[in-house]
Amino acid sequence: MVRQPLTAEQIAAGQRLGTALRAARAGRSLVEVALAAGISPETLRKIEAGRLPAPAFGTVVCLSQALDVPLNELADVWLADMPTRRAS
């Protein structure tokens, strides 16, 4: 299966997600949060910098728990400014 390239909107959504995660991390170190989420510090660094704009769902769930941020809040950040999709 070939993965389709990300759209400009998806890349922007990833950047918003990274910004929100960095803000939620506040005074905690990147390493501390990454280890609590069960991911590498480099992965968290890439997500926060927007260089990994579409992290795996499980990664986002683990970050949500490690940062004590409700998953629906992170979903709202991702979906902000995304074009509305209609069911077909």
Helices 57-67 and 30-37 cross at an angle (nearest 10°) of: 120
The fraction of the chain above a pLDDT of 90, given in percent, is 74
Q: Residues 58-87: what's their mean pLDDT?
A: 89
Rounded to whole angstroms, how far apart are CA atoms 79 and 29? Answer: 27
Rounded to whole angstroms, how far apart are CA atoms 26 and 19? Answer: 11
pLDDT digits (tens, 9 = 90+) for 17-56: 999 999 999 999 999 999 999 999 999 999 999 999 899 9
- Residue listed under structure tokens 């990274």: 18
Decide if 67 contacts 21 (C-beta within 8 A): yes
Q: Residues 48-71: what's their mean pLDDT?
A: 95
Instruction: Write down the mean pLDDT value for the chain.
Output: 91
Rounded to whole angstroms, how far apart are CA atoms 15 and 32? Answer: 21
| More confidently predicted of 17 and 84 | 17
Provide the whole-model pTM: 0.87
